[in-house]
Amino acid sequence: MRLIAVLMFGAAVALGACGKEESKPAAQGEVGADGVRRIPIEAGKGGYKPDQINAKPGEKLVLVFTRTAEGECLSQVKVADGEVKDLPMNTPVEIAVTAPDSGKLKFACGMDMATGVIAVN
């Protein structure tokens, strides 16, 4: 009886694990020959993915936003105190930024509802 209970528990654990997606860290981009890191960011249902980018102090980055969802909110993006940029559907838009020496640099949709940050570690 005890063996059956152990086998049933093991089967339940195995079945539960099959239905779960493994959580993977968001891609943090690639550094080009110019030393600038390019980070793809999807502007889609649920906001920005990734919504947090870790950076080194003063690191040069190019954020490559691609909008994949209809709607007015994500049709624009603003990084920190920069200008508002339009995000046409399925068209990559590059925005060059330099990470601050410390703290965070915010990016947000045109309505400031969907947000993300560049966090200096």
pLDDT digits (tens, 9 = 90+) for 29-42: 888 888 899 999 99
> What CATH architecture is 28-120?
Sandwich (2.60)
CA–CA gap between residue 3 and residue 100 (Å, rounded): 59
pLDDT digits (tens, 9 = 90+) for 105-115: 999 998 899 99
pLDDT digits (tens, 9 = 90+) for 11-24: 443 434 333 333 33
Tokens 């030393």 appear where? 35
Domain limits, the chain: 28-120
**Cis peptide preceding 92, ω within 30 of 0:** no
pLDDT of 22: 37
- 99 pLDDT above the threshold of 60: yes
CA–CA gap between residue 16 and residue 32 (Å, rounded): 41
Q: What is the DSSP-derived secondary structure letter of residue 89? A: B
Q: How confident is the model at residue 60 (pLDDT cuts 50, 70, 90)?
A: very high
Q: What is the mean pLDDT of residues 77-100?
A: 95
Going by C-beta distance under 8 Å and a sequence separation of 6 or more, which residues neighbour residue 112? none
* C-beta neighbour count of 49 within 10 angstroms: 15
Q: What is the DSSP-derived secondary structure letter of residue 90? A: T
